[in-house]
């Protein structure tokens, strides 16, 4: 039975984007189940039919249900070891997992002030000191990876992997909110934006016409 990945709006759902990219960039076949977010009770009930967390993304693999973006990436990494979603080397793998977990559990100010919204006209907003610190920390993470592993390939640990999937929505946030970054960070963003799977998600998101008012505030 094919994997099913339940996702929200590609324009807005940064959490959905992460496992979707991990699957698509590695050519792992899956059926996409789209449930529009924040439309009311009927769609919420559809999500609840897949997971009692009431949140997307959700991965269904036969009898197994996984309902959190990072957990889905971990599951896919185990299920498809040939995809090499995490680095082979234990120290590098620990590094990749550390920055992925840091992304998963942090950067609240940046997330709050610069929600992913692909069709938002590009323009800068005044960021709080906390959000500016988030931007600096993310660049530091990227630059450290590029310095240490740049010889292995253009992504954080060489080839596109789980850590890149976790940071992919940030690339859209930095782009859409015209956040100034160092040349090395820009080079990483350019690499991400050239990835066919990233482009496919972006095209699909831009083609969506559903507007979620609560995410259209800035
Ligand atoms: N920690 C979760 C967060 C998932 C999450 O917050 N999903 C949002 C959309 S991006 C959602 O499903 N919201 C719908 C709702 O709360 O009704 C993950 O990483 O998967």
> Which protein residue has the closest C-alpha to ligand 1 atom 11?
55
Q: pLDDT (tens digit, 9 = 90+) per residue, 107-126?
A: 999 999 999 999 999 999 99
The whole-chain average pLDDT of the chain stands at 97
For 29-69, write each residue's pLDDT tens digit. 999 999 999 999 999 999 999 999 999 999 999 999 999 99
State if residue 51 touches ligand 1 by the CB under 6 angstroms criterion: no
Which residues lie below 8 Å from residue 119, measured CB to CB, with a gap of 6+? 11, 205, 206, 208
Q: Whose CA is nearest to atom 13 of ligand 1?
A: 55
Determine the Cα–Cα distance for residues 126 and 121; give it in Å rounded to an integer.
Answer: 15
Q: Which of 56, 75, 106 to mutate to test the pocket of ligand 1 (most atoms within 8 A of CB)?
A: 56
Rg (CA), the chain: 17
78 pLDDT tier (thresholds 50, 70, 90): very high
Q: What is the mean pLDDT of residues 15-33?
A: 98
Structure confidence at residue 213 (pLDDT)? 87
Q: What is the pTM of this model?
A: 0.97
190-212 pLDDT per residue, tens = 999 999 999 999 999 999 999 99
Ligand 1: atom nearest CA of 55 is 12
Report pLDDT for 69.
98
Q: How confident is the model at residue 149 (pLDDT cuts 50, 70, 90)?
A: very high
* pLDDT exceeds 80 at position 1: no
């Amino acid at each position: 039975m094919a994997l099913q990945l339940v996702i929200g709006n590609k324009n807005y759902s940064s959490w959905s984007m992460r496992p979707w990219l991990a699957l698509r960039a590695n050519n792992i076949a899956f059926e996409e189940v789209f449930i529009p977010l924040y439309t009311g009770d009927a769609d919420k009930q559809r999500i609840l039919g897949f997971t009692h967390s009431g949140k997307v993304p959700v991965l269904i693999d036969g009898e197994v249900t996984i309902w959190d973006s990072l957990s889905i990436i971990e599951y896919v990494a185990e299920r498809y070891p040939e995809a090499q979603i995490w680095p082979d080397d234990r120290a590098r793998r620990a590094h990749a997992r550390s920055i992925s977990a840091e992304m998963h559990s942090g950067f609240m100010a940046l997330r709050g002030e610069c929600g992913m919204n692909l069709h938002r006209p590009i323009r800068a907003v005044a960021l709080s000191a906390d959000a500016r610190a988030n931007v600096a920390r993310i660049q530091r993470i990227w630059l450290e990876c590029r310095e240490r592993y740049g010889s292995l390939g253009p992504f954080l640990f060489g080839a596109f992997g789980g850590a890149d999937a976790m940071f992919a929505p940030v690339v859209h946030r930095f782009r859409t909110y015209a956040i100034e970054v160092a040349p090395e960070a820009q080079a990483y963003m350019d690499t991400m934006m050239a990835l066919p799977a990233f482009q496919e998600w972006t095209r699909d998101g831009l083609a969506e016409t559903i507007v979620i008012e609560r995410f259209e505030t800035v």
